[in-house]
C-alpha cells in the first residue's frame, strides 16, 4: 500500500475524522451549541470535494483489492455525503426544539456515511459486510435516539432484531459464495463467473452458489425493504425521529442499492455469465421488484398518516430501483444511479417538510393536518407540492426521468412485463401523491383560523428549498445529470 491507496480512501478518512472531531468537540464544550452540526456540514462538504477530486484520477482498486476507487464509487460517495449534509441542515431546528444532544447524533450520521461509502466501494465481500454493519449499527441507534419515547424505543428494537436477522442471511450467502468460488474478492468472483478463471472444482456446486446468491439477495432486500421483507419499514420509519427516518430511508436504501449493483451486475451475475442459475436469479430479482412496486403503492393509498404513507411509498421506490438492478445491464445501472440521486433529494426533503410541520408533542402526522396548508404555510405547501409531483413521476420534474431510465432498462433487458407493472404502479401512486396536493390547495380547513404564518428562513427551509431547486433544475435540464452520469459510468 502506498500514497495512492490513502488518496483513494480520502473521503472515508475525512468523514471518520470529522466524526471523531465532533465527539471531541462535544466533550470539551461547556454550553451545548450547534457547532457539531456545522462541523458535520463541513465534513460532508470536505468528503464531497475529496470525492470530486478523485473523479479525475485513474480508477484503482486500493489496498490490494479491497477498495474500489473509480467514478462509480465517487458518484455514490458524493450523493451519500450530500444526504448527510442535507439531513444535518434539516435536523438543526428539529433537534433544538426537542432539546436533544446533537453531538452523538452528528457523529453517528457521519459514521453511518462511512459505512455507506464502504458499501459502495467494497471490492471484497469483507469490506462490503463491514460497511453494511457500520451503517446498520449506527441506524439502530439513530432510530432510538429519542430514548424517552416509547415509539422511538420500539422502532429501534424492531429495526435491530430484524436487521441482525437479515445480516445472518447476508453472511450465510457470503459464506456460500466464498466456499463455491474460493475467494471474496469481487473482481476475482467476476472472472470466475465469466468463466475466465478456473473454479475451485473441489467445492464448486452451482446449486450452492445459487443458494448463496439468494441468501445475499434476502439480506440486502431486508435493508432496502423490498416486498416480502418490508414489514419493519413502516413501523421503523414511523417510530423513529422524522429527520432520522428521512436519512435512513434515502441514504441507507441507496447505499444498499450501490452494493446490490457491485454484487450482482458486476460480480456475481455479469452479462454472459456461465453460471447455471443466472436467469433464475434475474427472475427472482424481477419478481421482488414487481411485488414491491405494486404492494408499496397499493398499501400507501389506504394510509392516513403521512409518515406511514411515505414509508410505504419508499417500499415502492425500492421496487423501482430493484427493477434497474434486475435488468442487469448498463441502462439499469445508470438508471439506479440517476434514481438514487433524485430519490435522495425528493424523499429527504419530503421528510424534512414533515419534520418542520410536526409538533413537538408528536402530533401533526395525520393527512388531515395538511388540509388548507396552502393558506397557513404557502411556501412550504408549494415546495411539498413540487416534491409530491416529482415523487409521482409527473413529467417536468426530476422523478420522471429517473423512472423513465429504469423502465427503459427493463425493456432493453427484454422484460417488458416488468416495465408495464412499473407504469401501472406509478399510476396508482399518483393518486395518493396528488391527494396531498388536493388536501393542501383545494380543501378548506373547517375549524382552523386561516392565518398565514410568515416563513422563517432557517437552515431547514434553506435545505428544503435547495433540494427542490435541484429537483426543478434536474427536471428541466435532465441532460445535466444524465450526461454527467453517462460520462462517469462510461
Partner 1 sequence: MTSLANYLIISAILFSIGAAGVLFRRNAIIIFMCIELMLNAVNLTLIAFSQFLGEQSGQVLVFFVMTVAAAEAAVGLAIVIAIYRNKETVHIDDLNLLKG
Partner 2 sequence: MFDLIFYIFAFITVVGAAVTAIHRNIVYAAFALLFTFVGVAGLYVMANADFLAVTQMMVYVGGILILLIFGVMLTNRIQSANIVVNAGPKPVVAILSLGLLAILCAAFFGPSATHSEKSKDGKTASVSSWSNYTQQPWAATQWNKDANERILSEKFGAPSEVKTKEGSSGTSVEIGKLLLSDYLLPFEIVSIVLLVALIGATMIARKEPTLEEEALSESLS
Residue carrying C-alpha cell 433487458: 413
Residue 449: phi, psi to the nearest 5? Answer: -80, 130
Q: Closest Cα partner for 205 from 277, 134, 136, 256?
A: 277
Out of 44, 50, 67, 120, name the contact with partner 2 by CB under 8 A: 67
Residue 467 interface partner, choices partner 2, partner 1, none, CB cut-off 5-8 Å depending on type: none
Out of 131, 173, 239, 265, name the contact with partner 2 by CB under 8 A: 131
Residue 161 interface partner, choices partner 1, partner 2, none, CB cut-off 5-8 Å depending on type: partner 1
Binding mask 135-174 for partner 1 (x = CB under 8 A): --x--xx--x--xxxxx-xxxxxx-xx--xx-xx--xx-x
Min dist CB 333 to partner 2, Å, is 24
Residue 148: phi, psi to the nearest 5? Answer: -90, -5
Name residues contacting partner 1, limited to 200-259 (CB under 8 A): 200, 202-203, 231, 235, 238-239
**103 vs 372, beta carbon nearer partner 1:** 103
Out of 5, 38, 183, 382, name the contact with partner 1 by CB under 8 A: 183
Residue 231 interface partner, choices partner 1, partner 2, none, CB cut-off 5-8 Å depending on type: partner 1
Q: How many residues bind partner 2 (CB under 8 A)?
A: 49
3-class DSSP state of 382: helix
The answer to whether the beta carbons of residues 103 and 4 sit under 8 Å apart is: no
3-state secondary structure 254-306: HHHHHHHHHHHHHHHCCCCCCCCCHHHHHHHHHHHHHHHHHHHHHHHHCCCEH
Does residue 240 interact with partner 2 by CB under 8 A?
Answer: no
| C-alpha span between 16 and 450 (Å, rounded) | 47
Out of 60, 100, 126, 408, name the contact with partner 1 by CB under 8 A: 126
**214 vs 445, beta carbon nearer partner 2:** 214
Does residue 168 interact with partner 2 by CB under 8 A?
Answer: no
Does residue 92 interact with partner 2 by CB under 8 A?
Answer: no
Strand-strand pairing, 60-61 and 67-69: antiparallel
DSSP assignment, residue 67?
E
| C-alpha span between 324 and 318 (Å, rounded) | 10
Q: Closest Cα partner for 355 from 169, 107, 87?
A: 87
Q: Which residues contact 200 (CB under 8 A, 6 or more apart)?
A: 180, 181, 182
**51 vs 356, beta carbon nearer partner 2:** 51
Min dist CB 170 to partner 2, Å, is 15
Residues lying near partner 1 in the complex (CB under 8 A) are found at 125-126, 129-130, 133, 137, 140-141, 144, 147-151, 153-158, 160-161, 164-165, 167-168, 171-172, 174-176, 178-179, 182-184, 200, 202-203, 231, 235, 238-239
Amino acid at each position: 500500500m502506498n500514497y495512492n491507496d490513502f488518496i483513494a480512501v480520502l473521503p472515508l478518512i475525512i468523514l471518520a475524522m470529522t466524526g471523531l472531531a465532533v465527539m471531541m468537540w462535544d466533550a470539551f464544550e461547556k454550553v451545548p451549541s450547534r457547532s457539531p452540526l456545522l462541523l458535520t456540514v463541513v465534513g460532508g462538504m470536505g468528503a464531497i470535494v475529496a470525492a470530486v477530486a478523485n473523479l479525475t484520477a485513474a480508477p484503482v482498486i486500493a489496498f490490494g483489492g479491497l477498495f474500489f476507487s473509480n467514478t462509480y464509487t465517487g458518484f455514490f460517495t458524493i450523493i451519500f455525503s450530500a444526504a448527510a449534509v442535507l439531513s444535518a441542515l434539516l435536523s438543526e431546528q428539529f433537534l433544538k426544539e426537542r432539546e436533544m444532544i446533537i453531538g452523538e447524533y452528528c457523529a453517528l450520521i457521519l459514521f453511518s456515511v462511512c459505512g455507506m461509502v464502504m458499501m459502495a466501494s467494497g471490492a471484497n465481500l469483507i469490506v462490503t459486510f463491514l460497511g453494511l454493519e457500520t451503517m446498520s449499527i449506527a441506524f439502530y441507534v439513530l432510530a432510538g435516539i429519542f430514548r424517552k419515547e416509547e415509539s422511538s424505543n420500539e422502532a429501534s428494537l424492531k429495526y435491530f432484531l430484524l436487521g441482525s436477522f437479515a445480516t445472518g442471511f447476508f453472511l450465510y450467502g457470503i459464506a456460500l459464495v466464498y466456499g463455491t468460488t474460493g475467494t471474496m474478492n469481487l473482481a476475482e468472483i467476476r472472472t470466475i463467473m465469466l468463466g475466465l478463471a478456473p473454479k475451485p472444482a473441489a467445492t464448486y456446486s452451482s446449486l450452492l452458489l445459487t443458494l448463496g446468491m439468494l441468501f445475499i439477495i434476502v439480506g440486502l432486500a431486508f435493508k432496502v425493504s423490498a416486498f416480502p421483507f418490508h414489514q419493519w419499514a413502516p413501523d421503523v420509519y414511523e417510530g423513529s425521529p422524522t429527520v432520522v427516518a428521512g436519512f435512513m430511508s434515502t441514504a441507507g436504501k441507496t447505499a444498499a442499492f450501490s452494493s446490490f449493483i457491485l454484487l450482482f451486475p458486476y460480480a456475481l451475475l455479469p452479462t454472459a455469465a456461465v453460471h447455471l442459475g443466472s436467469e433464475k436469479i434475474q427472475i427472482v430479482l424481477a419478481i421482488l421488484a414487481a411485488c414491491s412496486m405494486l404492494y408499496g403503492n397499493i398499501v400507501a393509498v389506504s394510509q392516513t398518516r403521512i409518515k406511514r404513507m411515505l414509508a410505504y411509498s419508499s417500499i415502492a421506490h425500492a421496487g423501482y430501483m430493484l427493477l434497474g438492478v434486475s435488468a442487469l445491464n448498463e441502462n439499469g445501472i445508470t438508471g439506479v444511479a440517476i434514481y438514487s440521486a433524485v430519490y435522495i433529494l425528493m424523499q429527504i426533503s419530503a421528510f424534512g417538510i414533515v419534520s418542520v410541520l410536526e409538533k413537538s408533542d408528536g402530533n401533526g402526522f395525520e393527512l388531515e393536518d395538511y388540509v388548507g396548508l396552502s393558506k397557513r404555510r404557502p411556501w412550504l405547501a408549494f415546495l411539498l407540492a413540487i416534491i409530491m409531483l416529482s415523487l409521482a413521476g409527473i413529467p417536468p420534474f426530476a422523478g420522471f426521468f429517473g423512472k423513465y431510465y429504469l423502465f427503459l432498462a427493463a425493456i432493453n433487458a427484454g422484460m417488458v412485463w416488468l416495465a408495464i407493472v412499473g407504469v401501472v404502479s406509478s399510476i396508482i401512486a399518483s393518486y395518493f401523491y396528488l391527494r396531498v396536493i388536493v388536501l393542501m390547495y383545494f380543501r378548506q380547513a373547517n375549524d382552523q383560523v386561516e392565518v398565514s404564518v410568515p416563513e422563517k428562513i432557517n437552515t431547514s427551509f434553506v435545505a428544503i428549498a435547495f433540494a427542490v431547486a435541484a429537483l426543478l433544475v434536474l427536471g428541466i435540464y435532465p441532460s445535466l445529470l444524465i450526461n454527467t452520469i453517462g460520462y462517469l459510468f462510461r
